[in-house]
Structure 1
Amino acid sequence: MRPPMELCVFLLSLTAPLVLYSLNHMTTFQEPRVVLGTGVVVLGSVLLLVYLIVPKTMKVDPLFYAIAWLSFSCMVGLTNALEQDGFISGFMGFYLKMGEPHLSSAYAVMTCYWEGVFHFALFLTIIHRMFKGKSYRSLALLWAGSSIALQIVLVPGVLIGKHASNIRPAFWRNIPFFLAPFWAATLLFSRPREMPVITADKISAEQKKSLLFRPVDLFLSLLLLGAMAFCVFRGFVVMDCPLDSCFNYIYQYEPYLKDPVGFPRVMMLVSLFYAVPLLAVSLYGLNIPGCSWMLDWAICFAGAMAQTQWCHIGASVHSRTPFTYRVPADKWWPVITLNVLLAVAPTLLALRCHTNLAYFMKPVPKGQADSEKKKK
């Protein structure tokens, strides 16, 4: 009897700290190109092992190979985070010196925690549901949104921040990690979503209600408007807007926005140019009935905002961030509360979309709905 596939992936991923510890104590890894080559060989070997653990007679979703391979990287990230915070030692010294020095920054440490805990748990759950024949589309979209957000902040942040002058060849191993979530999102969005059968009467009754008679949607609309305003404001702040309010905010409330690592500046610009339009589209979907695309996009967007806010909040108070750039103690509660609300708004929107689907579904003729219901 074969062990569950999620257990195989879990055990394979646990070899990451052993590999790192072994490499860290070898004297040959003092050349940046050797570190890059070793990383390629290790990741290639992991992908080969993932391929070999799948029975040849079993038809597997291509997404499995990607997330099983990335699970190993999640454990590498978690090992780095634990070492940077002083819980363990002797694993990452060689790689930080000759591979990716930026991984010692507070923002990178928080991304490593996110990958090592949240993404890894998602991967194992997805694999479990995948081989049990259960739906995993929503969980996979949650990961795709989260991972895309992580990559479009982390990679440009390294390229424009203070670490840009110390980029090693191993940095370019991030290219497949950058492309993987985009490929996965494209794959998932191209597949039809399984929709429950809801009668036309129920859909019509739900969609006839005005916003004033949908208090949850009214509250979410106001929350989304507030999130849009906050994203626009902070975008202006990092672009050195001369308004007194912007000047006071960056020096008195969130000095982390001017940290030379580059990550907070990139994140604010990503929020301005990507999150604000998505918030506006979400607001449209809450007010115009029949927007079935909201069911997928809300999950993807929730994952993205949760990831970016986790890293931003964590880095702004982390001990590895210089004291002058951390959130001031007397402004801690308002700043953290605003940032948490920015993450919570899309999450609440995703929950609302999936607890009451009728408002977002296309009207179905009553006769057709009844016949489909009888078939079930």
Structure 2
Amino acid sequence: MTASAGTGVFVLSLLSVPLTYLFNLLFHANSGGAVFVAGALILLITASLAHILLKQKPPKDPLFYVFAVFAFMSVVNLIIGLEQDSIIDGFVTFYLKEGEPHLNTAHGHMICYWDGSFHYLMYLLMITAITWGDEYRTIGLYWVGSVLMSLVVYLLGNAVGKYGANLCGGFVINNLCVILPVWASFRIFSQPLTRDAPSKCIQDSHQKGLIGRPLDCVFVLYFLLALGFSIFRGLVTLDCPAELCQQYVQFQEPYLKDPTAYPKIQMLMYMLYCVPFYIVTIYALLVPGCSWTSDLALLHAGALAQGQFSHIGASLHTRTPFSYRVPEEAKTMFLFLNLVYGLVPQLFAYRCVTNPEFFLKNKGNQKTE
């Protein structure tokens, strides 16, 4: 397969710029017939261009087409974020008013920027890897964690937050869109593992105790602290009457009580998802040969990167009511805690990918036995 396939996806994704402008113009013209004709023509033109660009050597991996669709939608989300900040105008005005008013919230705003920048880069990297036949399991798992965290928090927040009574067609479409990431996740998990190391290196690594691995000692200590922090913030969002919880939500993170419910769902996800991860990861750092550690670390790193980006941004965003923003005197501590909470998982995932010997099973010993 040549590079023309990846280039074609990039070109098609950029078509979202004129297409959104055209749709917005026709919607404001209140011409239902024109919108229908324009939509049919756009689909026909896009399909024709895709056929022409991919005609010589069409990709065989169906994930290529999934990520091509996601890349197109990522540019649309970036357009939404830019129009919300009044950097551009006239592209998605009608959609923001009638389609998904949830996107006007601070959390929805941060999701648009994350999807339009980081996820778009992930999609292009995945498409490039598929195009050239390279291994894409590692970056794919990271993407899975990020996109699933984004979808779960956003959709549940829409359903139970203050906008829950005004759910519209956009919410239904987003629910249907969950099918593709879930299917892509299973597809990525089915890819063969490529992590390996010489049997001697694995054996030497297994013989080292935790004390002989200072960096892993630091990670164990961090996971213990992060475990307690995750449970604590989960209890805060559940209205724990303890004085410490009440003081924290009042003076440190009042955004946890935002009526949009996104921060509450985010903290509950951390408590229900991250706490089990920390427990099994501590076990994996103590007992050698837990080959599943690297995959879980990548999923967790992607999920925490997206979750913390949205949470930190929304906590400080001007679209968040002033009473729910982080107090000025608490910003330093807020940023320190949340940046550490989001960055250390990235370092641990990097450690698992670049130095996986301790987590690999010694195949040499297995054959001997």
Q: Report the TM-score, using the length of structure 2 for normalisation.
A: 0.92
2:143 paired residue number: 143
2:155 and 2:175 in contact (8 A); partners too: no
* Deviations 1:37-59 (CA, angstroms, capped at 9, x unpaired): 99899789867865664336545
**Residue in 2 aligned with 1:306?**
305
Specify the code of the residue in structure 1 equivalent to 2:221. Answer: L
Per the alignment, residue 130 of structure 2 pairs with: 130
Structure 1 residues 48, 284: CA separation in 2 closer, same or farther (over 3 Å shift)? farther
Moved more, 253-262 or 19-28: 19-28
Corresponding residue number in structure 1 for 2:284? 285
Give a deviation string over 1:10-54, Cα, whole Å, max 9, x none.
Answer: 11111112111111122467699x999998997898678656643
Between 1:174-183 and 1:101-110, the stretch displaced more is 174-183
Q: How far apart are the structure 1 equivalents of 2:38 and 2:95?
A: 11
1:323/1:188 CA distance change after superposition, 3 Å: same
Cα distance in 2 for partners of 1:236, 1:261 equals: 18
Q: Provide the alpha-carbon RMSD of the alignment.
A: 2.7
CA contact (8 A) 2:141 2:298 kept: yes
Other-structure match for 1:84 = 84
Q: Who is 2:152 aligned against?
A: 152
- Equivalent-residue separation in structure 1 for 2:93 and 2:87 (angstroms): 14
Q: CA deviation at 1:121?
A: 0.8
Per-residue Cα deviation, 1:223-277 (whole angstroms, up to 9, x for no partner)? 1111111110000000000000000011111010011111001111111111211
SS in 1 for 2:326: coil
The AA in structure 2 aligned to 1:293 is: W
User: Which residues of structure 1 form unaligned runs of 5+?
Assistant: 370-376
Q: Are residues 216 and 70 of structure 1, via their aligned partners in 2, closer, same or farther at CA, if it must alter by over 3 Å?
A: same
CA distance in 1, matches of 2:160, 2:315: 19
Aligned 8 A contact 1:256 1:327 in 2: yes
Q: CA deviation at 1:307?
A: 0.4
Cα 1:19–1:186 change in 2 (3 A) is same
Flag the 1:277–1:171 CA change in 2: closer, same or farther, 3 A. Answer: same
Partner of 1:74: 74
Q: Conserved in 1, the CA contact under 8 Å of 2:21 and 2:92?
A: yes
Aligned-partner residue type, residue 343 of structure 2: V
Kindly report which structure 2 residues correspond to 1:1-376, keeping only aligned pairs within 5 A, or say none: 4-27=4-27, 50=50, 53-55=53-55, 57-196=57-196, 198-365=197-364
The 2-side partners of 1:35 and 1:284 are apart by 57
Aligned-partner residue type, residue 9 of structure 1:
V
Judge which range, 103-112 or 201-210, deviates more.
201-210
Change in 2 beyond 3 A, CA 1:159/1:211: same
Asked whether the 8 Å contact 2:59–2:131 carries over to 1, the reply is no
For 2:11, the aligned partner's letter is L
Contact 1:258–1:325, Cα closer than 8 Å, also in 2: yes
Q: Deviations over 1:204-224 (max 9, x none)?
A: 111111111100000011111
Higher mean C-alpha displacement, 128-137 vs 156-165: 128-137
Q: Distance in 2 between matches of 1:270 and 1:36?
A: 40
Kindly indicate whether the alpha-carbon contact (under 8 Å) linking 2:253 and 2:326 is maintained by their aligned counterparts in 1.
yes
Residues 133 and 163 (structure 1), Cα distance of their counterparts in 2 relative to 1, 3 Å cut? same
Deviations 1:62-97 (CA, angstroms, capped at 9, x unpaired): 111111111111011101111111211111210011
Counterpart of 1:373 in structure 2 is none
Letter in 2 for 1:350: A
What do the CA deviations read for 1:320-362 (whole angstroms, capped 9, x no partner)?
1111111111000111111111111211111111121111111
SS at match of 1:365: helix
Matches of 2:342 and 2:348 in 1, distance apart?
11
Q: Distance in 1 between matches of 2:31 and 2:172?
A: 15
Query: Is the CA contact 1:80–1:112 (under 8 Å) kept in the aligned structure 2?
Result: yes
State the shift of 1:195 in Å: 2.7
